Amino acid sequence: MEESQPRPTTLLSIRLLDGELVKAKFPAHATLEKVAQYVCQKAKDLKKEKLPKGKAYTVPNGIEFESIQPRRLFEVETFSLVTLDQAGLCPRYDYAIIV
């Protein structure tokens, strides 16, 4: 019997619009769209949508991601097409969220 290999994951440090840092683990094959969904839900759970610029968490295409090192912008149009692994965000990465 062959042992199944654990699927690679990545730990993301995500800076929300108000500066709060949220850490979350995702499978390496997760798309940026899944991360965006998580971020929007987490922001709502934390009542961030009521803050200045907070409506970005509630409107379609309201957020974009920017990587810190190397600096790279991921636009919402690519979220469903790019996995974390393809984006070079594995095994760990720090993200900034911009509007």
The full set of domain ranges for the chain reads 9-98
pLDDT at 31 (0 to 100): 94
Q: Which two tokens stand for residue 19?
A: 């500066």
The single residue listed with the structure tokens 């961030």 is 48
pLDDT at 5 (0 to 100): 66
Q: Chain centroid to CA 88: how far?
A: 13
Mean pLDDT across 57-84: 82
pTM over 0.85: no
pLDDT at 95 (0 to 100): 60
Mean pLDDT for all residues in the chain: 82
For residue 70, say if its preceding peptide bond is cis, omega within 30 degrees of 0.
yes
17 phi and psi angles, rounded to 5 deg: -60, -30
Residue ranges of alpha helices (H) inside 1-99 are 32-45
The CATH number assigned to the domain with range 9-98 reads 3.10.20.90
